[in-house]
Structure 1
């Protein structure tokens, strides 16, 4: 076998092997990145659950603070012999309750937005994980087609070489 033919076969084999190796590496990297996305999704979900628990604690604390303010107002007014069931005293207590409810609603909205943001991030990580899995499959498939194309190209060159040198059968 002439040296040119041997080099064509060797070059074809090395190139095809390199394409398969590159595809395997790209596939492993995509799977690894998918695992990272899965872990990030889990962390976001855990953070969302923590935010809910912390929000509930903050709501309870706010309720206690408002109740404490109302109790202090009632005690001061009653200590000054003010009737807290009517007039300005009743309006002050009602206003304190109203402000407490508004603060509670604002806190709930902030917690809800924070949890929704974390849930969206978790969903995005799930999408990324799925995309990485598809990327891993595609990398392998592409490497098979690339290696196959290289082998066919090398075989064509070898056949052409043999035909030019009169050794084809």
Structure 2
């Protein structure tokens, strides 16, 4: 065991080391949480850009599908009209209407797929925003918890030191 003269120095040194280690841990936890918040913000921006891109691509696909539908209806109409078939009534009208109906159904399915993709990306944006806020709060809390841990360690060390000094005086 150490001598009485060395004990106070050891108490002070161990208390200081413990407090420094706790503060370092708190700073590290805070920095890590801030980094996660930054990553979440970047991911949020990427998802937002992805949603905008999905809308643009969907609009392009809608235009292309509209052209495809028109390229099917146009030749049907031209062939029937070239054969002197009245395209406004009877089976000729039903063929054209059927082609247009299939085109509308395809367009509706395309719109629904685009809507779902964009909604999924919007949900991801909201989730990343929540993750960012949570990590930012954790960064603040880490330092606060670190300060309390350091304070507790310092008070514990001071109590131990005072107890040692009291023993020396009484003993």
Specify the SS of the correspondent of 1:165: helix
Please say if 1:83 is aligned against 2:86.
yes
Describe how 1:54-93 pairs up with structure 2 within 5 A.
54-93=57-96
Measure, in 2, the Cα distance between the counterparts of 1:134 and 1:167: 49
| Paired position in structure 2 for 1:14 | 17
In the alignment, the residues of structure 1 paired with residue 75 and residue 46 of structure 2 have an alpha-carbon distance, to the nearest angstrom, of 43
Structure 1 residues not aligned, in runs of 5+: none
Does residue 1:34 correspond to 2:11, yes or no?
no
1:100 aligns with 2:89: no
Q: Is 1:52 the counterpart of 2:41 in the alignment?
A: no
Of the three residues 151, 156, 162, the one matched with 1:153 is: 156
Unaligned stretches of 5+ residues in structure 2: none
1:79 is displaced (CA, Å) by 2.9
CA shift for structure 1 position 80: 2.8
Deviations 1:25-62 (A, max 9, x none): 11011001100000000000000000000000000000
Aligned CA RMSD, in angstroms, stands at 1.3
Please report the TM-score for the alignment, with normalisation by the length of structure 2.
0.95
Distance 1:77 1:163 in 2: 112
Q: 118, 122, 125: which one pairs with 2:125?
A: 122
1:166 and 1:9 map into 2 onto residues whose CA distance is: 19
What is the aligned length? 168
Provide TM-score, normalisation by structure 1: 0.96
